[in-house]
A and B are shown apart, each in its own frame.
Chain A
Amino acid sequence: MIGLMIVFLLLIIIVEGPGIVKRREWKEIFVISFFSLLALLYGLDYALRSYLLPDPKSLIYMLLPLAEQVMAFFNLTH
């Protein structure tokens, strides 16, 4: 996981870094940093198995009881 993050970060810095800094595209720099930082935080959380960040899957779990009720009403099986 750490290796994966290093590869991606290096790729982003090498491929995108010089261009956007040269053109001074602040919005692009903000969006790139936002996605990279989120990925980095979640990646570290996963690699260190600390699970301190909110799991996006919990939103899907919130929908599960409703989905199960719909399936039961329509006699559907999965």
Chain B
Amino acid sequence: MDNSSLSERQLAFLLFMTLMGNALILAPISGSGRDAWIANLLASLVGLYLLFAIISIQKAFPGQSIIKISEICLGKVAGKILSFIFITMIFYSIIIYLFDACILIRTIFPFLTCYLLRPLVVISIAYCIYKGSNSIGRLADLFAPVTLLFIIGSLLIITTAADFSRLQPIAADWRMLVGGTLDGAGWPYSVITVLALFLPFKSDPGGKHRLLYIWFFVGVIIFTVRSMLVMAILGPEYVLLVRFPLYASLRFVAYADFQRVELFFFVLWFISGFMVLLINYMAGVLAVKEYFNLTHFKSIILPTGFFLTVISLYMYNSDMEFYTLEGITTPLLKLSINLLYPTILLLAIKIRGRSLQSSQVGPDSSPASSKA
């Protein structure tokens, strides 16, 4: 395996970490009340479709970046416009993840300012990206089992405080259930589209992708169990009032003199928040590299980080405004862009079929073979 390739296992772990991200602690779909777990299961179908779509697109053009594929399938102008919207979405996701990560860190260390925290987080991540995609794969290798262990631990611990009668009646309000499904499809499930930018790095592009589906289902099971438990502990009303529902659930747990159990899981919040930022930042940098046809991606890591840090401070410096705006608009925004982009490409590949194969670009443009 060369320095820029990723194994199927590493890609599966990257998918798992992307899915977990900040959705683990923020508990999305809570707005759909006690049926959040059913909405979560239904929303996962959209995630499953997106995973199938990005894998199918990649299989049609092995080793090519999705940004290049869009130009091949839709033409230079339409491809560039669509890719620009997708890249803007990735950048906006990074801003959201960065804000969430800093808010979480500030709940533990309240005297750290955002002017210090955000550049520190961005520069740390930039350092990891400088090490290359293989290093990110190895980091995912290291962190995914630890994350899984802590998730299982936290879910087992909060089970003791659960009151499952709070989950009844089941599916009483179909509108809420459908709305929750759309909400969940937008976030967290549609965010896995970003993984399309890592698929060209797969060490055997023509090989199977079974592990990716397996780890996707692991993520779905975790979210479903988490939704049930958090709702059973906090109840549908209180879950909307707290900023970090899983963190709040853990605060309910106390074993005799053993207090502040939730602090043990800080490593989990930090790792998942850090990894999803890392994956999205890397994807953003790779997308910009492909968009501008650059030979290296390393030279744009720091300028992109600089831009994102400043824009995140410019856009969101108040968490009151952030949670009012972001909670309502983000799932809709993410669902529409992340669903449309691969769907349009997949349709173009299916419709244009053979005529596309003759117009493929040369192998030098593939990310795996570039100097990056």
Contact = CB atoms under 8 A, between A and B. Distances in A.
A42 B310 contact: yes
Nearest to B323: A78
Interface string B291-309: 0111110011011111101
A66 interface: yes
Nearest to B295: A25
* Interface range, B side: 35 or more
B8 interface: no
Interface string B175-187: 1101110110000
A74 B176 contact: yes
Contact of B299 (A28, A40, A46, A56): A28
Interface in A14-55: 15-16, 19-20, 25, 27-28, 30-32, 35-36, 38-40, 42-43, 45-46, 55
Contact of B314 (A15, A45, A64): A45
Contacts of B173: 75
A1 B295 contact: no
B93 to A, nearest CB: 13
Given A4-B119, A42-B314, A35 B32 contact: no
A11 B173 CA distance: 55
Interface string B238-258: 001000000000000000000
Interface in B285-341: 288, 292-296, 299-300, 302-307, 309-311, 313-316, 325, 327-329, 332-333
Interface residues of A, number: 46
Contact of B303 (A19, A31, A55, A67): A31
B294 A27 contact: yes
Interface in B335-371: none
Given A31-B292, A76-B179, A77-B240, A60 B299 contact: no
Given A60-B329, A71-B179, A74-B178, 6 more contacts: A3-B115, A39-B310, A43-B314, A64-B328, A75-B176, A78-B31
Interface of B: 31-32, 115, 119, 123, 173, 175-176, 178-180, 182-183, 240, 288, 292-296, 299-300, 302-307, 309-311, 313-316, 325, 327-329, 332-333
Q: Which 6 A-B pairs have the closest CB atoms?
A: A74-B179, A35-B303, A8-B306, A76-B31, A39-B307, A39-B310
